[in-house]
Amino acid sequence: QTVVTQEPAFSVSPGGTVTLTCGLNSGSVSTSYYPSWYQQTPGQAPRTLICNTNTRSSGVPDRFSGSILGNKAALTITGAQADDECDYYCVLYMGSGLWVFGGGTKLTVL
């Protein structure tokens, strides 16, 4: 069974930089998985941040960037702000019409 892994929690200082990762329980993540990233605040629908590994969605500040780091997809937030404190999810497209979400990372800014 395919499991997409994310750090359960992460913390960053205001103004700091943090990199969240998205991996596979077996194998490496590449651009062929079209990794995408979503931001979710409590009680709200997810907001698309990054699609296709590194393309920012409309209106997303350039503090958010996506990449492949080693064998994982990565979301880097630079200049962290208080309202960046929320949950972040990655999704991988496994092919054949199958998508898998990661378990999400709860980001704390303190």
Partner 1 sequence: QLQLQESGPGLVKPSETLSLTCTVSGGSISSSTHFWGWIRQPPGKGLEWIGSISYSGSTYYNPSLKSRVTISVDTSKNQFSLKVSSVTAADTAVYHCARQDFYSYDMDVWGTGTTVTV
Q: Tell me the per-residue interface mask from 26 to 65 with partner 1, x by CB under 8 A, - otherwise.
A: --------x-x-x-x----xxxx--xx--x-x--------
**In the complex, what is the shortest distance from the CB of residue 7 to partner 1, in angstroms, rounded to a whole number?**
13
**In the complex, what is the shortest distance from the CB of residue 2 to partner 1, in angstroms, rounded to a whole number?**
9
- For residue 99, which amino acid is it? W
Q: Cα separations (Å) of 89 from 25, 42, 45?
A: 16, 13, 12
| 91 belongs to the binding site for partner 1 (CB under 8 A) | yes
Backbone torsions φ then ψ of 107, nearest 5 degrees: -100, 130
**In the complex, what is the shortest distance from the CB of residue 108 to partner 1, in angstroms, rounded to a whole number?**
17
| 103 belongs to the binding site for partner 1 (CB under 8 A) | yes
Q: Which is nearer to partner 1, 17 or 32 (CB)?
A: 32
| 17 belongs to the binding site for partner 1 (CB under 8 A) | no
Nearest 5 degrees, angle CA 81-CA 83-CA 93?
100
The conformation of residue 102, written as its DSSP 8-state character, comes to B
Residues of the shown chain interacting with partner 1 in the complex, contacts defined by CB under 8 A: 34, 36, 38, 40, 45-48, 51-52, 55, 57, 89, 91, 93, 96-104
